[in-house]
Structure 1
């Protein structure tokens, strides 16, 4: 298993703890994050977090743009939230600050009452004394985002698992067709069945850490230090793709297809009891196309078929389905966001359309540079729209 897959699974399994370590290490190594100085129109405040108090130093102020310098004077890594009272939501959530680290965060404050909340591992969340903001703001104030809850995101997980069950049901006859084609030695037919199954699997979005080892066995994760034929852990769709395009015997591939069929059936049977982490779905909404851009459209994960554009099309479906499952929590925080995202996903499909002719896909190698740039640009734009989802639906540290 490659390192990237291992790290991603660790994130899904343990939640913020992994990110916390990375954030603390990164910030502690560089000191305060470099930020442009506040403009004359902005007010500034140094807000201190200590072992005894959270967020002292804000003070009453006029409405408008503010640059807060968050300074962790405590001996513990700390995450800082700016919230609007009473219980009106979060304006920003800092990365986790190591002891002695400072960080600038900006917000445009409208009139009202605000406070800082501080969260340290294993501790009860502490809260500062409220500070008042008065007057009118000339520009739009920073919206307060309601904190996501595990229960709220579990509802989205349940929708996703229902979709996953239906998708795995679609995959089953495709794998039976693949096995039959290999049994008869019809490699051309086997390639068509393989692509159908590969697209269905990509449409599930499950290759991105959702299903742990079961997902890796179906996806097929290759050890780059070993030749594919000598890697016993290289199984599933990836191994069959390699064999279909590198002259492996139909009989050997039939055995791999039989195992793949069993692995998919086993996963389908486990879905009801699968312990998906509530906070993982918002991350996956962005990660699917992130992996597409990095691994698929670069050709890095190709095992010979060259079907990057076909898989990208399925990844768009997976992203759209994940966003739909999160639509309730997302729309309650930013009305219209799902429509905006779907517009960018439509643009990816538009860029892909010339690459799908007569029910077949142009390979990555056969696409023109202009066609590849068009698809890459559309996926990049979609990623910009999707990037807000993890922040909008971030769970409080320790609740994952």
Structure 2
């Protein structure tokens, strides 16, 4: 359970709860036996949106919301005055009941139903009576529009475009090292180029097949060394650090340089989905936890911690264009920045004075527990960002 979450134990529709400024996701489906004794039974449909909630008083509001239409539905609970969102029920299938909970002060609220292929439907305005300020009140999130995200997408795309010439020069230098037979230097330059690429994580969706060619992982049941289809950084890593001859490595470094050059040429015509940046701000580090901190991507260089460091840098760059959106919507933004910085400081403490990185398996149990705790805490803080930056349609 994410920090600050309050929701019922149900399973099948996706419930996004905004609690204390944090937006969270839970898979749920209500059964009759799960009925909360104090839950409002709310209908969400084409002909009746938000009916069933009446005469509420300030405090905890529990809703069992049923999609009465024949198609998928998304449902918001929002302020009638400001349109701030307090509860978001996503992917609510036909006939599905999802439970959500919000802590509301006095005010005017309404449900908004959003059918997949139709205009939003505003439900009746409901007045919550009682005190305006209540303990542990859910913080409403101002909706984010496509127009809010487009400038962020352009800013991030411009930064990525500025880094691709650097990446190309680094991969060209790697290819030159191998061509000259200087494999010691090639190992150093391989890491430099690979870490550069690992900072670009929020753009991988726009890279398309180029990402697989440049930084793909081996197929299931294969290693980077024996996968005949694998190219890119991980294939080169496996060859370099297994003692392969330069002649065996050269075709892969040449291809890597060509693939990066093609990406650089094609990227100005690519489009970074504005929704991807908020999502990837969390997923970059989540993937590092899954792959780097388990050693699954280690092809023999034992530089997982260096990759984690680069991923943290990539997370910072993914957040940068979103700050204008988040500063008024996410009260834990400063805490998130501090957690990223503290985690990166810890990771970099495992780097020697000569620039070499400690292999992951040399960390003590205490060091590993400390590292895992820092990464987990940072992920908790990054988790709400994708939901906050989700585009929400509004009813008139």
Q: TM-score range by the shorter chain?
A: 0.7 to 0.9
Deviation digits for residues 297-321 of structure 1, max 9, x if unmatched?
1001111111110000000000011
Q: TM-score when scaled to structure 1?
A: 0.86
1:108 Cα deviation (Å)? 1.4
Q: Hey, what does 2:239 align to over in structure 1?
A: 243
Equivalent residue runs for 1:334-345 within 5 Å: 334-335=330-331, 337-345=332-340
Q: Hey, what does 2:348 align to over in structure 1?
A: 353
1:201 aligns with 2:194: no
Equivalent residue runs for 1:263-302 within 5 Å: 263-302=259-298
Deviation digits for residues 30-75 of structure 1, max 9, x if unmatched?
544997957xxxx641111234211111113222221111122322
Two-structure CA RMSD over aligned residues (Å): 2.5
For structure 2, which runs of at least 5 residues remain unmatched after alignment?
A: 1-11, 16-25
1:278 Cα deviation (Å)? 1.5
- Equivalent residues of 2:67, 2:93 under 8 A apart: yes
Tell me how far apart the structure 1 counterparts of residues 289 and 237 of structure 2 sit (CA, whole Å).
20
Alignment partner of 1:68 out of 53, 63, 69: 63
- Equivalent residues of 2:217, 2:234 under 8 A apart: yes
Equivalent residue runs for 1:164-179 within 5 Å: 164-179=160-175
- Equivalent residues of 2:205, 2:272 under 8 A apart: no
**Secondary structure, aligned partner of 2:184:** helix
Tell me how far apart the structure 2 counterparts of residues 283 and 34 of structure 1 sit (CA, whole Å).
35
Paired positions, count: 371
Q: Hey, what does 1:149 align to over in structure 2?
A: 145
**Secondary structure, aligned partner of 1:124:** coil
Tell me how far apart the structure 2 counterparts of residues 222 and 168 of structure 1 sit (CA, whole Å).
24
1:259 Cα deviation (Å)? 1.3
**Secondary structure, aligned partner of 1:168:** helix
Structure having the higher helix fraction is: 1
Tell me how far apart the structure 1 counterparts of residues 230 and 53 of structure 2 sit (CA, whole Å).
56
Q: Hey, what does 2:307 align to over in structure 1?
A: 311
Tell me how far apart the structure 2 counterparts of residues 114 and 148 of structure 1 sit (CA, whole Å).
18
For structure 1, which runs of at least 5 residues remain unmatched after alignment?
A: 1-20
1:124 Cα deviation (Å)? 1.4
Deviation digits for residues 362-386 of structure 1, max 9, x if unmatched?
1112222222222111111100000
1:326 aligns with 2:317: no
Tell me how far apart the structure 1 counterparts of residues 279 and 344 of structure 2 sit (CA, whole Å).
22
1:228 Cα deviation (Å)? 4.3
Distance 1:36 1:390, change over 3 A: farther
Distance 1:355 1:267, change over 3 A: same
Deviation digits for residues 275-312 of structure 1, max 9, x if unmatched?
22221111000000000001111001111111110000
- Equivalent residues of 1:323, 1:338 under 8 A apart: no
**Secondary structure, aligned partner of 1:103:** strand
Q: TM-score when scaled to structure 2?
A: 0.87
Alignment partner of 1:97 out of 83, 92, 103: 92
1:131 aligns with 2:126: yes
- Equivalent residues of 1:324, 1:338 under 8 A apart: no
Deviates more, 1:289-298 or 1:228-237: 228-237
Distance 1:34 1:77, change over 3 A: farther
Q: Hey, what does 1:10 align to over in structure 2?
A: none
Tell me how far apart the structure 1 counterparts of residues 202 and 330 of structure 2 sit (CA, whole Å).
27
Distance 1:209 1:375, change over 3 A: farther
**Secondary structure, aligned partner of 1:209:** helix
1:229 Cα deviation (Å)? 5.3
**Secondary structure, aligned partner of 1:62:** coil
- Equivalent residues of 1:47, 1:71 under 8 A apart: yes
Tell me how far apart the structure 2 counterparts of residues 22 and 33 of structure 1 sit (CA, whole Å).
15
1:216 Cα deviation (Å)? 1.4
Distance 1:343 1:292, change over 3 A: same
Tell me how far apart the structure 1 counterparts of residues 258 and 45 of structure 2 sit (CA, whole Å).
55
1:148 Cα deviation (Å)? 1.1
Tell me how far apart the structure 1 counterparts of residues 170 and 49 of structure 2 sit (CA, whole Å).
57
1:356 Cα deviation (Å)? 0.3
Q: Hey, what does 2:5 align to over in structure 1?
A: none
